[in-house]
Amino acid sequence: MTPHRLQHILHPLLLALAILAFTVQSAMSQRRVTPVNTPATATQPVNEFKNDTARINAAKRASLVHYHDEHGNVVLVDTVTGEEWVDTATVESKIPKMQYPILESVTVGVDIADPLMRLFGRNYGLFEFWGMLSIHNRYMPVVEIGLGQARNTPDDSNFTYKSPVAPYFRIGANYNFLYNSPTDYQFWAGLRFGMSSFRYEVTDVHLNDPYWQEYPIFSVPSQSSTAFFWEIMIGLKVKLFRNVSAGWQIKWHSLLAETGGTYGKPWYIPGYGTRGSSLAVGFSLMYTIPLGKRESAAIPPGADPGSGIDGPVGTLPGRAPGIGPDAFPDSGDDAQGLKLQ
């Protein structure tokens, strides 16, 4: 083999060896990084789980079943530990339960607005008695019976209107907006339908005839009439002492129908008032006879009445039964406060 041919073969071989040596040296000269297993990295998955509310709730719900107790509460059951507790989230969102019995009380009263107004010069009205049944301290059917009478001689008129004593009746109901509050105070709206059958007449009608210089006097014969009317109202009741209370009410009323009136419409209708007025007020003194007591709030079985915790006695605040520090390694008491959202 000639020297020239040998040189031609060794030249590429030496170049390949040089490239290989440079590559190996570069790889060995790089800094080695050795992973260090610190306490922070060891507990990182646990800490991430502990702060992930969605994952915690999913883990808890996986072992929970529920049922409804006799009070309508949702009771959660841990199938692992067998412990039960009331789901307070659903308790707070429930429609408030009526706390008073069906037959809560009977109230009788007298409306003294008419007698008081007659002391100040009003010339119609007498008095009224009424009775009311309280159902759950919420719905209150009412029956009202009264007597009305009128005798009026207007200052600027030449006649006297007379309506002898006649009865009137109303039936209806009130709705108490404070039905779960103590019965010492009530604020309600009501509806009434009423009727009265009565007589009326106009006497001492003076006619002035200056031409003939005559001043005749005559009367309109007594007439009978029956009127039907309705009322809507709002009222307030306030306890005075023991079972005695006072009440105020404002009424708006309107005639539904009336009969009679051959010689004109009546000016006064017992139980309704004067024809030209659509508003009336009432003031009553009343006595209440209790029939049942208010129900106390139910405490779930096993709950500690003084702790404010809806769950078994000994359950840590905010912690579901069976979920404790052992469920989260190295987390300690930091697991407290985790609860179903």
Q: Are residues 114 and 175 in the same domain?
A: yes
The pLDDT of residue 272 is: 96
Q: Are residues 313 and 253 in the same domain?
A: no
Q: Does the pLDDT of residue 263 top 90, yes or no?
A: no
Q: Which residues in 16-49 are b (16+ Cβ under 10 Å) and which e?
A: eeeeeeeeeeeeeeeeeeeeeeeeeeeeeeeeee
Q: Are residues 126 and 180 in the same domain?
A: yes
Q: Are residues 87 and 121 in the same domain?
A: no
Q: Confirm if 283 and 246 have CB atoms less than 8 A apart.
A: yes
Q: Are residues 76 and 108 in the same domain?
A: no
CATH of the domain at 162: 2.40.160.20
Q: Does the pLDDT of residue 48 top 50, yes or no?
A: yes
Mean pLDDT of 194-220: 80
Res. 66 pLDDT band, cuts 50 70 90: confident
Mean pLDDT of 58-84: 75
pTM, rounded to two decimals: 0.60
Q: Are residues 219 and 281 in the same domain?
A: yes
Work out the number of other CB atoms within 10 angstroms of the CB of residue 270: 29
Mean pLDDT of 234-244: 96
Least trusted range by pLDDT, from 40-49, 56-65, 115-124: 40-49
Could you report the per-residue pLDDT of 104-157, keeping only the tens digit for each?
Answer: 999 999 999 999 999 998 999 999 999 999 999 999 999 999 999 999 888 777
Residue 281 inside a domain? The answer is yes
Q: Are residues 109 and 145 in the same domain?
A: yes
Q: Confirm if 200 and 268 have CB atoms less than 8 A apart.
A: yes
Query: Which of 159, 163, 171 has the alpha carbon at shortest distance from 147?
Result: 163
Higher pLDDT, 23 or 152: 152
The pLDDT of residue 266 is: 92
The pLDDT of residue 217 is: 72
Residue 13 inside a domain? The answer is no
Residue 214 inside a domain? The answer is yes
The pLDDT of residue 329 is: 45
Least trusted range by pLDDT, from 212-226, 237-251, 296-310: 296-310
Q: Are residues 157 and 241 in the same domain?
A: yes
Q: Are residues 279 and 305 in the same domain?
A: no
Where in the sequence is the domain holding 264, given as residue range(s)? 103-290
Residue 177 inside a domain? The answer is yes
SS3 track for the chain: CCHHHHHHHHHHHHHHHHHHHHHHHHHHHCCCCCCCCCHHHHHHHHHHHHCCHHHHHHHHHCCEEEEECCCCCEEEEECCCCCEEECHHHHHHCCCCCCCCCEEEEEEEEECHHHHHHHCCCCECCEEEEEEEEECCCEEEEEEEEEEEEEECCCCCCCEEEEEEEEEEEEEEEEECCCCCCCCEEEEEEEEEEEEEEEEEEEEEECCECCCCECCEEEEEEEEEEEEEEEEEEEEEEEEECCEEEEEEEEEEEEEEECCCCCCCCCEECCCEECCCCEEEEEEEEEEEECCCCCCCCCCCCCECCCCECCCCCCCCCCCCCCCHHHCCCCHHHHCCCCCC
Q: Confirm if 128 and 170 have CB atoms less than 8 A apart.
A: no
Res. 26 pLDDT band, cuts 50 70 90: low
Count of domains observed in the chain:
2
Could you report the per-residue pLDDT of 212-230, keeping only the tens digit for each?
Answer: 666 677 778 889 999 999 9
Q: Are residues 156 and 284 in the same domain?
A: yes
Residue 18 inside a domain? The answer is no
The pLDDT of residue 47 is: 56
Neighbouring residues of 135: CB distance < 8 A, sequence distance ≥ 6: 102, 103, 104, 141
The pLDDT of residue 154 is: 82
Q: Does the pLDDT of residue 176 top 80, yes or no?
A: yes
Q: What does pLDDT average to over the chain?
A: 77
The pLDDT of residue 95 is: 58
Q: Does the pLDDT of residue 340 top 50, yes or no?
A: no
Q: Are residues 313 and 283 in the same domain?
A: no
Residue 340 inside a domain? The answer is no
The residue out of 271, 290, 309 marking a domain boundary is 290
Residue 267 inside a domain? The answer is yes
In angstroms, rounded to a whole number, what is the distance separating the alpha carbons of residues 257 and 278? 15
Q: Are residues 225 and 186 in the same domain?
A: yes
The pLDDT of residue 303 is: 47
Residue 30 inside a domain? The answer is no
Residue 107 to residues 172, 184, 193, 236, 288: CA-CA distances in angstroms?
15, 12, 20, 14, 4
The pLDDT of residue 73 is: 77
The pLDDT of residue 153 is: 86
